[in-house]
Amino acid sequence: MITSMELLAAKALASKADKELRENILPYWRKNISLPSGLFLGRISGHEEARPDAPIGGIMTARILWTFASAYRIAGREEDLEMALKAKKIISEHFFDSEFGGTYWAIAPDGSCLDSKKQIYAIAFTIYGLAELFRATRDQEALDLAIRLFRDIEQHSFDHSLNGYFEAFQRNWEPIGDMRLSDKDANESKTMNTHLHILEAYTGLYRVWKDALLHQRLKNLIELFLDKIVGTDFHLKLFFSEDWNCNYDIQSFGHDIEASWLLHEAAIVLGDKALLNKVEKAVPAIVRAASEGYESGKGMAYEKKDGTLDMERHWWVQAESVVGYFNLWQLRAGAENLEKALATWDFIEGNLVDRQNGEWFWSIRADGSVNRDDDKAGFWKCPYHNGRMCMEIIERCKNLK
């Protein structure tokens, strides 16, 4: 039972999130990233230095597409639709591989292909953005491209023998030696991170396209998480061999809490009541595991690796923590979860939001200093985590009783 005090607090959070989205996050990207050339600027440093020579990432472009399409769907602002359509145009004209299918990893500032590898994580994000654009505008071209990319993943990446999805390929879908998403990752055949974002993409696509194979694969992904990726301690295991062995001692608190609500959302959209019941039993345990990194007033730590805790507070981890705790509170799991969502928001507002220049800083270091060495915008720093957090809270509060 949600109390009147909880309802007021949640609505107040939604009002703050709406203001943050409209006045800080979205304007920063419209003003600083969109170039007259028709492309996006590839990078802005932590010191607000534009880097026109930086590569333009497929992930950044897809995340911009998703964020602005979702913002347009929620609020109907034409300037948001303009950004979403620009991102779609960049993807269709510069990232989509018309010969072999899939999308490129990166393009050069002039729009030419810079890195043609097929990273499934990036293709999944492109599906996610295109499906959201169709949801917002009924753009059939966007849906058709999303479906083509879904079929590319299923044809080339799905492991029919041992289940799951392989990480990466050469341009022509031949095997590639280095499958890593980034230099922080292990070079393994399968990862939690890619599976999480295929799950996310397939959820968005199934919401607008009720295809039988997509239904099957989305259900399979949820079951894979419950059976293989979520460990007995309810932390997510991160890196796997082809046959699903994991020999890494890493707890990623941000991924734990992000997965808690993305799995729940996927099960709701899928509409399988028995599977939804299993997921809703697992969600509190996954959030409890993630909360090993939570400290009141200081947000959520980054990770614990080989027994060592990394206390840096990354922007995306805090954003996902707000949604994860809020989602668990909505499951009637106690006011303390709403309190954690509110406290994490307070930490974000007091430490990560850049009131002078806009957007959020990459992180707050363990010593409390602002990290300006990492990007304000770029290959990995996009408006998706913080923008989505704002929009999730706004939408969730619309129907709260």
- pLDDT for 206: 99
For residue 196, what pLDDT band results from cuts at 50, 70 and 90?
A: very high
Query: Do the Cβ atoms of 21 and 358 come closer than 8 Å?
Result: no
pLDDT at res. 333 = 76
Cα dist. 37→40, 120, 376 in Å? 8, 28, 21
Q: How far apart are CA 279 and CA 68, in angstroms?
A: 29
pLDDT at 390: 98
Q: Average pLDDT for residues 13-30, to the nearest whole number?
A: 98
Contact 169, 118 (CB under 8 A): yes
Q: What is the pLDDT of residues 250-285, one digit of tens each?
A: 999 999 999 999 999 999 999 999 999 999 999 999
Model confidence pLDDT, tens digit, residues 80-123: 999 999 999 999 999 999 999 999 999 999 999 999 999 999 99
* Contact assessment for residue 35 and residue 99, using Cβ atoms and an 8 Å cutoff: no
305: number of Cβ within 10 Å: 14
What tokens appear for 170 in the block? 């050469």
Instruction: Write down the mean pLDDT value for the chain.
Output: 97
| Cα–Cα distance, 275 to 281 (Å, whole number) | 10
| Rounded Cα distance, 177 and 21, in Å | 40
Q: Rounded CA gap, 326 and 10, in Å?
A: 9
- Average pLDDT value for residue range 376-392: 98
Global pTM exceeds 0.95: yes
Looking at residue 200, its pLDDT comes to 98
Can you state the angle between helices 212-224 and 253-270, rounded to 10 degrees? 140
Convert the pLDDT of each residue in 30-63 to its tens digit: 999 999 999 999 999 999 999 999 999 999 999 9
Q: Specify the CATH number for 4-398; select among 1.10.150.390, 3.10.20.30, 1.50.10.10, 3.40.50.720.
A: 1.50.10.10
339 versus 401: the higher-pLDDT residue is: 339
* Distance between CA atoms of residues 181 and 365, nearest Å: 24
CA dihedral 139, 107, 383, 263 (to 10 degrees): 70
- The better pLDDT of the pair 334, 76 is held by 76
- Three-state secondary-structure class, residue 73: helix
- What mean pLDDT comes out for the span 205-215? 98
Average pLDDT over residues 175-195: 96
- What are 296's two structure tokens? 């009141």
For residue range 294-334, what is the model confidence (pLDDT) as tens digits? Answer: 999 999 999 999 999 999 999 999 999 999 999 999 998 78
In this predicted structure, the answer to whether residue 124 has a pLDDT above a threshold of 90 is yes
The order of strands in the sheet holding 313-314 is 313-314, 363-364, 370-371
Spans of all domains in the chain: 4-398
Which residues are CB-neighbours of 89 under 8 A, at least 6 positions away? 38
